Structure 1
């Protein structure tokens, strides 16, 4: 019975969104309401010169794209169940098993707000999982501890050496956060700093040696 309970806990879905969609829900609602208001205004203004049919079509053309974006953004979620990443999208869901990964990389998007993501490749499919983002003044947001722990465990189940190395980086990140270490002592921030030192603007893929050097 305890074994079944442990197995169930291991496969319990865990959200791995860097910023949960619920955080943006109030802003998204305001954006949708604003789009409706602008669409109605555009329709009323157009009705001065055009028939109501064309005016309504113009209003819809103005409002619908924004409302569609708001709805699609609210539907996006990332979950991890055991070793399986599930990406919820506007239409359907995509699942990728980290145990079957053919490639695993750490990517950094250097900018004033730099992002570091885990890129997983399974055959011809690719899925990115945001791990952290940092500003150039030393602040930022990191994936919650449970998400990092589950990702580290899932990567450790892979046969790829790169996956195991990144799993070790996430474990070291967890330890740094547990002792409330400064950013300079956190491996994910060190990865961002390494990418920034290259003076590039394109996504930087960390090499095996750069991943290994993250302490």
Structure 2
């Protein structure tokens, strides 16, 4: 993702791969180091408190019960990468999973809010397996980061041929975002920011189905 105020082109993976998530090794490394420090401190604190009452062995067990699941989650998120190859959405964690965006049966807009920052994402749900979240933009007030122009355009092209979930509506949302950027609109005037700002406060996650997104896209015309 890139800053709305500066849309300089970002380097893309070789070939037809268009990175959508986790392609920057520097960011992944920082998240890994920061996560390891936080997990170590938390596990040590819990283990120390439990150890006061149950002894050293009990403290070590408590620290492991807290630290191991968090460590697995951290490594899973650090390894997670998403990219686009034509109409194929490729997700890599411990293995590689491919989802044909033309064939997915449900697409929603998902807006999440954490510590004042709102993330606008697409949730694509294939017939089999769990859905995959594609972050489009993250906003905090009038500032934020957005998926780069090439990635938005390729994603819109992939969705436009989806008939099972009426992907054209979501493609039109992305095209409207691209047009707004091309006109030089400020971040708060762009469709994704307007969609994020319109979501009610106080909810961790809000899912907007096809009908709601279609109504919003129609209001942009």
Range of TM-score over shorter length = 0.7 to 0.9
Q: 1:30-179 residue pairs with structure 2 within 5 A? A: 30-33=34-37, 35-36=39-40, 42=47, 46=51, 50=55, 56-89=60-93, 91-109=94-112, 112-125=116-129, 126-135=131-140, 137-160=141-164, 162-179=166-183
- Return the structure number with greater relative CO, CA threshold 8 A, min gap 6: 2
Instruction: Select between 23-32 and 125-134 the one with higher mean Cα deviation.
Output: 23-32
Q: Which residue of 1 aligns with 2:215?
A: 209
User: Higher helix fraction: Structure 1 or Structure 2?
Assistant: 1
TM-score under structure 2 length normalisation: 0.73
Look at both structures and tell me which one has the larger radius of gyration over its CA atoms: 1
Deviation string 1:88-135 (CA, Å, 9 cap, x unpaired) is 12x323221011122222233357322211122222442221111212
TM-score under structure 1 length normalisation: 0.74
Aligned residues of 2:22 and 2:28 also touching (Cα < 8 A): no
Alpha-carbon distance in 1 for matches of 2:25, 2:73 = 13
| Total equivalences in the alignment | 202
Identify if the C-alpha distance between structure 1 residues 66 and 204 changes in structure 2 by more than 3 Å, giving closer, same or farther.
closer
The Cα shift of 1:57 comes to 4.1
Alpha-carbon distance in 2 for matches of 1:66, 1:190 = 35
Alpha-carbon distance in 2 for matches of 1:166, 1:12 = 22
Question: Aligned with 1:15: secondary structure?
Answer: strand
Q: Which residue of 2 aligns with 1:183?
A: 187
Question: Mind listing any 5+ residue stretches in structure 2 that lack a counterpart?
Answer: 1-12
Deviation string 1:20-70 (CA, Å, 9 cap, x unpaired) is 564142242143245446657848x959x746x666545534543333232
Q: CA RMSD in A?
A: 3.4
Alpha-carbon distance in 2 for matches of 1:108, 1:121 = 16
Question: Mind listing any 5+ residue stretches in structure 1 that lack a counterpart?
Answer: 1-8
